[in-house]
Amino acid sequence: MSLMEENMKVPLNIEDMCNEAIDLASKMNVKLGYEPEDVIVIEKILNECHEKYAQNKMEQKVAWNLACLYGVMVGEIMLRNGLAEKGFHWTPDRNAFIQDDKDMSLAPVRKAYKRIINGVEDNILMFYNFTMQAVFGDIDLNDYVTRE
């Protein structure tokens, strides 16, 4: 079982995690809130984490813990800026996922973790923008489905 799978079983307190992400950012002299622009701030923080991870200056467990905090924060920003109104919510049985009442499921914590591990190819801002555009109808997801 991977570190990610192991930790996904731990129940999350979303409010506490967001507060911890905000506090941690403030210790770095960075203001963080729940506005869409704050995803840019989170992307910068995750980029710094990636640089440390890539230089072997950050352990995988630390990377996961930071991804949890900032991934949850991105999820909350998404929910507070329109996804909740579209029926999305944190799914308690799959802890770090956001899901709607249909079939769409989002994993902002996993995306934040991949951002730290893989780098810019897993940009959290692009994840945010693509998701918001898809949910609000600015992108036709059928354009991204592989057809046989």
At 106-133, the pLDDT tens digits run 999 999 999 999 999 999 999 999 999 9
- What one-character DSSP code corresponds to residue 82? I
What's the rounded Cα separation, in Å, for the pair 45 and 116?
Answer: 9
Measured at the CA of 80, the angle between CA 91 and CA 93, to 5 degrees, comes to: 5
Closest CA to 112 of 104, 121, 123: 123
Decide which of 5 and 57 is more confident: 57
φ, ψ for residue 99 (rounded to 5)?
Answer: -140, 150
pLDDT above 90: percentage of residues in the chain: 71
What's the rounded Cα separation, in Å, for the pair 51 and 119?
Answer: 8
Indicate the pairing of strand 89-90 with strand 98-99.
antiparallel
Residue 86 has pLDDT above 90, yes or no: yes
Name the E strands within 38-94: 89-90
- The DSSP bridge partners found for residue 99 are 89, 105
List the structure tokens of 29. Answer: 């002299």
What's the rounded Cα separation, in Å, for the pair 70 and 36?
Answer: 14
pLDDT above 70: percentage of residues in the chain: 82
Residue 118: CB atoms within 10 Å = 13
Please enumerate in sequence order all residues whose Cβ is within 8 A of that of 104, keeping only pairs 6 or more positions apart, or say none. 88, 135
